[in-house]
Structure formats: structure tokens, C-alpha cells
Chains A and B, each alone.
Chain A
Amino acid sequence: MKRAYKLLTFQAAALVGAGLMMATVSEMTKAAPPAATVEIGNFTFKNPTLTVKPGTTVTWTNGDDIPHTVVAKDLHTFRSKVLDTGDKFSFTFAKAGSFGYFCSLHPHMTGVIIVKA
């Protein structure tokens, strides 16, 4: 009896464990934040107009031999430090809207992130 109880306990524990794992996985799937990327190359933002859903984290990567920056046009919503070759900068766009940005070193480089549900 005691043994059966133990087994039952084990099975229950395993079930609970599996359930927890499934819950975690599904939670992760649900909560996996949407992500998008913008490559910087040849002194351009390669996808200069990018439309994403609210909550998306956008990551810029500098593929040029020359440093660049990613700065919101309003100069404060987001502002990377200088990105040398291979450096990345990420920002999460929580709210809907249109967010223009540019490279503050080479201001002819511009782009826009459009955030809509």
C-alpha cells in the first residue's frame, strides 16, 4: 500500500511536472516577443521602411566598416551609442505609431519603423 502510494505520488509528480513544462512551453510561445531586424550596409538601412506589431523588438546590426548610429528623429525616443562593425542595437516598440530615425553621423541615412496592431 505504502509502495503503491509512493508510485502514485511519483506518477502524480511526473504528471504535474509534465503539465508545468507544457504550461511553460505554451507560456513561452505565447510570450515570445515578436522580433525584427534591420541590417545596416553600404551606408543604408537595408529595409528602410519596416512595419511591425506593437511589442516588437527591432535589432539593428552594422555591417559596414564605418561606424553608424540609430537615432530617433525626435532625438530621444531611442538613441544608440556608436555602433562599430558588427555591433547591434535593439529597441522595443510598445505603442503604435510611425517612428522615423536616422544615422546621426551620416544623416542622409534614414528609415522608419511603422508600428500597428
Chain B
Amino acid sequence: MDDSLSDNDRRDFLRCMAWAGTGALFAFSGGLGKSTGLDSALAAPLRPAATAPFTFVQLSDSHIGFNKPPNADARATFREAIAKVKALPQQPDFIIHTGDVSQLSRDDEFDDAQQMLKDTGLPVFWVPGEHDMLDPEGGKAFLSRFGKGSKGAGWYSFDHRGVHFIALVNVADLKPGGMGNLGAEQLKWLKADLAGRTSSTPIVVFAHIPLWTVYAEWGWGTDDAAEALKLLARFGSVTVLNGHIHQITQKVEGRIAFHTARSTAFPQPAPGTAPSPGPLKVPPEQLHSMLGITDALFVRGHDRIALIDSTLAV
């Protein structure tokens, strides 16, 4: 893997070495980013880098309130995921949650998720999933709690140590017969948000539904994602982090690397392997490993991004 470091034009590239059922841990050092799975990070502290590295963790699809097979208590598995984060020898700078925080957008579900994460003492950046839009006012409960300072249905951006993070919402105002949707207003905002930035700025985009079509028959994609990706195409390093499908998938297109995270609540079938999406009813002894480790090696242009995942199974 170290051969991928030999090129000079990799300064800004983001290298991910790990993905986790419970979360992925990303490390940036200078312009170079790498990530490692929670388990391997627990086993071996991150290599020291020339410039101060930083890490962040992605959690997704906690579905707090879900209590049917194969997981009678999605709160408990979320708590286990958080315990893993807290046990990391190098604490991440922050956590991103890529949506479906709750099962039914109930206040107690949002509150429990928030309280459990508060325990880490870390900042948390949220985007809603479709399960977080179910209150009578279509997402107001989520926004009033987690969307302070956001625009529209909850989109925003921030900079952290030279990396530009963009939180997009593709679960609002969905169209009949369609998939995920960003909408004209958000795309206009994204264009303006990116306008002044140099192409060497590493970009991390996160949103709930995949920003590429994983499986159209199940609605696993975003109808107008191409317009967002066009705006991102000039950047040297773009990483897109999504949830929604409760399993790890990845794809590289040009300089854009796409990843989806596993859920902390329940697995879903691989595309087309079941009559429909929905909870995969695995036996109890399998659940934790189904939220588990997947290793992957990502390719971006000639650069390679390795992924190593961790699970809730010890």
C-alpha cells in the first residue's frame, strides 16, 4: 500500500483504510488522509505523521426505537458502537451521523440518540434520513434539535483542519416514482459554497441516501446527484460518505470515492438478493457480526484507498 504514497501528486488525496459496521475512522495528516477501522485503531495507535493528524468517526442508521427482528433493542447496539468510539486510544475530533437517527422521528428517540452521543464529549454533525422526517411537520423535530445554523431542509458545510465538509440532505421533498432528491435550492447553495475554493481543497460530502445509484429498483440512489457531482468534479480529492442501505459498498468515479456505512441497528439484504429491502432477519448470534467488518481497498485515479472495517462482535 505504501507504493501509493510514492507519487508526488497525492498531496491532497484522501486515503481511507477502514470501514466499520459501527463506524469508520478517518485520519488526515497534512493533505493526506487515511482511515482505519475501529478495531485496528484500538489495537494499534495511529502512526505519527509529519503534521498533526486528525480523525473522525462516521455512525449511521441507528434507528433508535427499532425493536423488531433481528434487533429487539437498537438503543443497546448504538450504545455498543459509542462504547467502541470512546475506547479509541486517539479520540476523533468529531462524529458524523449520516441519518436515520430515529425509527419514527419521535422526540424520545431523538433525545436518546443525542444523550448517548453526548456521553462521548465530542461534537456531532448530523444529516437526516427519511426516518427522521416523519413528524407531522416533515422534519421540523429533527431540524430544531440537530439543524441549528443549517439551511433549507438541513444542509450546511464547515471546515476542519483544511478539509471542507459538506452535509447534504437528500430525503426531503421526494418525488413519486423517484429516489433520493437534493433539489434545485440545495444545488444552488452547493454551487455557491464551492465557488471560492481551490481545487486542491480535500472535500468530504456526507448525506443519508447514496449519491450514486446502488440499486434503482429499491430506490437506492439520488435522482439529481449527477448535478452535485459535476460541481465536485474539479476537486482533487472528494470522498462521499452515505448510509441508508445498511451495508458497505464502494465505488470510485474519477477523483470521487463513494462509501456507504453499515447500520448500528440491523443489516439489509444485498441489492436484488431479496424481494425487497428491509431488516434482514439474521439469527441473534449473527447480528453483531452482520454489523461487522468489511475490508476494502479503494481506487481513486491511480491512488488507492484501503478500507478495513470493524464490527460490534468482539
Interface residues of A (CB under 8 A from B): 42-44, 64-67, 73, 81-82, 84-85, 100-102, 104-110
Contact = CB atoms under 8 A, between A and B. Distances in A.
Contacts of B121: none
A107 B134 contact: no
Given A107-B174, A107-B175, A107-B176, A67 B276 contact: no
A74 to B, nearest CB: 10
Given A42-B276, A101-B176, 11 more contacts: A42-B275, A43-B218, A65-B68, A67-B134, A73-B176, A100-B176, A105-B130, A107-B177, A108-B177, A108-B219, A110-B176
Contact of B278 (A65, A107, A110): A65
Contacts of A85: 68
A65 B103 CA distance: 11
Interface of B: 68-69, 103-105, 130-131, 133-134, 136, 174-179, 216-219, 275-279
Contacts, number: 57
A81 B277 CA distance: 21
12 contacts: A42-B276, A43-B218, A65-B68, A66-B278, A66-B279, A81-B136, A84-B104, A102-B176, A102-B177, A106-B219, A107-B176, A107-B177
A101 B296 CA distance: 40
Contacts of B218: 43, 108
A98 to B, nearest CB: 13
A39 to B, nearest CB: 13
Nearest to B279: A65
A113 B279 CA distance: 29
A27 B69 CA distance: 47
- What secondary structure prevails in chain B residues at the interface with A? loop
A105 B103 CA distance: 12
A108 B130 contact: no
A116 to B, nearest CB: 22
Given A43-B278, A65-B278, A110 B177 contact: yes
Given A82-B134, A105-B131, A44 B174 contact: no
Interface centre among B68, B178, B219, B275 (most CB of A within 10 A): B219
Contacts of B174: 104-105, 107
Contacts of A42: 275-276, 278
B291 to A, nearest CB: 17
Contacts of B276: 42-44, 64
A105 B277 CA distance: 13
Contacts of B136: 81
A108 B223 CA distance: 11
A104 B133 CA distance: 10
A47 to B, nearest CB: 16
A64 B12 CA distance: 45
A42 B277 CA distance: 7
Contacts of A100: 176
A82 B104 contact: yes
A85 B279 CA distance: 13
A107 B134 CA distance: 14
Contacts of B216: 108
Contacts of A43: 218, 276-278
A73 to B, nearest CB: 5
